[in-house]
C-alpha cells in the first residue's frame, strides 16, 4: 500500500511537471527527460521481471512468457486471452543479456517490453516489434470545408448531419465549477458504464491540471450541457484528454453526441487557427474499436516522440491459438527505421484477390502507415517469418483513408 502511494506521488509529480512546464521548456527538455527516466529506471533496477501467463485464447490454450515493465502486460493479456490468464512470476533477467532475452522459454509467444534501443537489437525472424499504443493526430489547417473532406464518408454522413439535426451547440469554459460538474456527472459515469470496475479512471487532480492548462469544451442541447471534454493545449495542438456524456446516457450516445463533440471542437480548433487536434491514444491494433473510431476522422497515426519503449513479440510455437491470433488481430508494427506498417497474416498469400486488397485498404489504410504488409501464417510455422521480406506489400499514400470509405 505504501509503495502504491509512492508510485502515485511520483506519477503526479511527473505529470504535473509536464503539464505545467512552459511550452518552450517542454519542447527542449521533456523528450530528453523521458529517455533519462527510462535509463534511470533500468540503472536502479537493471533486471526485467519475467512472468508466465497461461489461459484460454480464442483458438485454444495459450502460454505466454512476458518480460518487462507493467505497462504492456495488461494490454497483452487483453489482446491474447479470453479471460484473465493465470499469472506466475518466473524470475528476472538482466536487460543487457540480449541472447537470453531472445531465447526466453517456455511459451507459445514471448513478449518483451523494453527501451527501443534494446528492442531493435533483438532478432526479427519470427518476431515483430509492436508499439503498445499510437496517437491519432488530425491536421485542421485550411478552410473548414477542406478539413471536413478529411473525414471518412460515414462521419460526414452521420456525425455531421446529426450534429445539425439535434441542434447541438458548444461553449468553451474555464470555470472550476463547470469542471467539477463535468468530472462528477459526465466523465466518471461514462467511464464506469464503458469499462465497469476496471475503468482506468484519471484522478480529479490530474484532470484538473490538464484543464487549467487548456479548457473544458461543453456540448449543449436545448441550452443544457449534455457532453463535454477536457482539452489540453500545447503550442499549436489541441489534445483531447477526457470526455464524458451526462450520466453516461446511452440514448445520447446512440444519437452520436460524442460525434457532435468531436465535430464541434475540431471546427473550433480550425477557426482558432490551431495546427492540429490530437485524439490521443489507442492500442496499435487495426481492428480495435477505438482505433477504428479515431481513424474515421482522418487522423494520422504516429508514436509519440517521448515514448521510447517498444514490445518485441516472438512466435515460438504456431499453435492453433497463435495462428488464430495472427490472422484475426492485424497489428501495427515498427520496422528498424521506426516506420509504421499494418501487418496482415493470411493462410495463403497466393490466393489474395484484388477484392481482398481493396477491402483491406478500405478498412486499414491510415495516414501515418507506410504500407500494409501481408505474410503467411505458414511462415511463422516454419520459423522463418520476417516482415522485412513479406509476401505482399500494399503501399499507403499520405492521404489514405481520408475522405473516402464507409
pLDDT band at 6 (very low <50, low <70, confident <90, very high): very low
- Count of Cβ atoms closer than 10 Å to residue 261 Cβ: 25
Calculate the alpha carbon distances from 259 to 151, 265, 279 in Å.
12, 10, 12
Predicted confidence band of residue 398 (pLDDT cuts 50, 70, 90):
low
Task: List pLDDT tens digits, range 126-178.
Answer: 899 999 999 999 999 999 999 999 999 889 888 888 888 888 999 999 999 99
Cell output for 384? 522463418
Which of 4-8, 200-204, 313-317, 395-399 is the least confident region? 4-8
Residue-wise pLDDT tens digits, 93-115: 887 788 888 888 889 999 999 98
Residue 7's pLDDT band (boundaries 50, 70, 90)? very low
CB 126 within 8 A of CB 383: yes
378 CB-contact burial (10 Å; exposed 0-12 / middle 13-18 / buried 19+): middle
Task: Flag whether pLDDT at 60 surpasses 80.
Answer: yes
Model confidence band, residue 1 (pLDDT cutoffs 50, 70, 90): very low
Q: Which residues pair with 53 in a beta bridge?
A: 64, 87
Tell whether the model's pLDDT for residue 61 goes beyond 70: yes
CATH 3.40.630.30 fits 135-302, yes or no: yes
Q: Helices (H), strands (E): how many in the chain?
A: 18, 17
Please provide the average confidence, as pLDDT, over all residues in the chain: 87
* Global pTM value: 0.85
CB 216 within 8 A of CB 228: yes
Query: Is 337 a residue whose pLDDT tops 70?
Result: yes
Least confident segment among 5-19, 48-62, 181-195, 207-221: 5-19
Least confident of 14-28, 123-137, 367-381: 14-28
Instruction: Supply the pLDDT for residue 270.
Output: 97
Q: Between 28 and 175, whose confidence is greater?
A: 175
Tell me which of 97-101, 163-167, 212-216, 374-378 is least confident.
Answer: 97-101
User: What SS3 class is residue 344?
Assistant: strand
- The pLDDT of 366-379, averaged and rounded, is 92
What's residue 2's pLDDT? 44
Domain boundaries, the chain: 2-44, 135-302, 330-406
348 Cβ partners below 8 Å, 6+ apart? 376, 378
Q: Looking at residue 265, what is its pLDDT?
A: 96
pLDDT at 52 > cutoff 90: yes
**What pLDDT, on the 0 to 100 scale, is given for residue 47?**
84
What pLDDT sits at residue 163? 87
pLDDT in tens, 223-271: 999 999 999 998 899 999 999 999 999 999 999 999 999 999 999 999 9
Helix (H) or strand (E) holding 165: helix 161-165
CA–CA distance, 358 with 356 (Å, rounded to integer) = 5
pLDDT at 197 > cutoff 80: no
Q: Which of 255, 290, 160, 226 is nearest to 217 (CA)?
A: 226
Considering the chain, what percentage of its residues have pLDDT values greater than 90? Answer: 62
Indicate whether 4 pLDDT > 70.
no
Closest CA to 361 of 333, 328, 395: 395
Length of the chain equals 406
Amino acid at each position: 500500500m505504501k509503495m502504491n502511494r509512492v508510485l502515485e506521488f511520483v506519477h503526479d509529480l511527473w505529470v504535473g511537471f509536464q503539464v505545467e512546464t512552459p511550452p518552450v521548456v517542454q519542447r527542449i527538455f521533456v523528450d530528453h527527460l523521458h529517455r533519462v527516466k527510462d535509463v534511470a529506471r533500468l540503472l536502479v533496477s537493471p533486471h526485467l521481471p519475467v512472468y508466465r501467463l497461461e489461459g484460454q485464447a480464442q483458438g485454444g490454450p495459450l502460454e505466454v512468457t512476458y518480460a518487462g515493465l507493467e505497462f504492456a502486460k495488461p494490454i497483452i493479456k487483453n489482446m491474447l486471452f479470453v479471460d484473465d490468464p493465470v499469472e506466475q512470476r518466473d524470475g528476472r533477467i538482466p536487460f543487457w543479456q540480449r541472447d537470453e532475452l531472445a531465447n526466453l522459454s517456455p511459451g507459445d509467444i514471448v513478449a518483451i517490453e523494453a527501451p527501443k534501443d534494446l528492442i531493435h537489437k533483438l532478432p526479427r525472424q519470427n518476431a515483430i516489434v509492436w508499439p503498445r499504443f499510437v496517437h491519432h493526430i488530425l491536421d485542421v489547417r485550411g478552410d473548414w470545408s477542406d478539413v471536413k473532406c478529411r473525414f471518412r464518408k460515414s462521419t460526414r454522413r452521420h456525425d455531421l448531419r446529426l450534429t445539425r439535426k439535434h441542434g447541438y451547440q458548444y461553449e468553451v469554459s474555464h470555470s472550476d465549477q463547470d469542471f467539477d460538474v463535468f468530472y462528477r456527472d459526465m466523465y466518471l459515469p461514462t467511464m464506469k458504464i464503458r469499462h465497469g470496475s476496471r475503468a482506468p479512471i484519471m484522478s480529479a487532480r490530474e484532470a484538473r491540471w490538464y484543464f487549467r492548462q487548456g479548457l473544458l469544451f461543453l456540448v449543449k442541447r436545448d441550452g443544457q450541457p449534455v457532453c463535454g471534454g477536457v482539452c489540453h493545449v500545447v503550442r499549436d495542438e489541441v489534445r483531447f484528454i477526457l470526455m464524458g456524456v451526462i450520466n453516461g446516457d446511452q440514448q445520447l450516445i446512440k444519437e452520436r453526441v460524442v460525434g457532435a463533440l468531436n465535430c464541434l471542437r475540431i471546427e473550433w480548433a480550425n477557426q482558432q487557427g490551431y495546427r492540429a487536434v490530437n485524439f490521443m491514444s489507442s492500442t496499435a491494433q487495426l481492428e480495435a474499436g477505438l482505433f477504428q473510431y479515431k481513424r474515421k476522422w482522418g487522423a494520422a497515426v504516429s508514436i509519440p516522440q517521448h515514448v521510447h519503449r517498444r514490445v518485441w513479440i516472438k512466435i515460438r510455437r504456431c499453435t492453433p491459438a497463435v495462428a488464430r491470433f495472427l490472422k484475426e488481430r492485424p497489428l501495427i508494427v515498427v520496422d528498424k527505421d521506426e516506420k509504421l506498417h499494418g501487418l496482415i497474416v493470411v493462410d495463403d498469400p497466393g490466393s489474395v484477390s484484388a477484392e481482398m486488397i481493396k477491402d483491406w485498404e478500405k478498412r486499414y489504410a491510415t495516414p501515418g502507415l507506410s504500407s500494409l504488409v501481408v505474410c503467411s501464417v505458414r511462415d511463422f510455422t516454419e520459423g522463418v517469418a520476417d516482415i522485412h521480406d513479406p509476401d505482399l506489400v500494399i503501399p499507403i499514400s499520405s492521404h489514405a483513408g481520408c475522405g473516402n470509405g464507409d
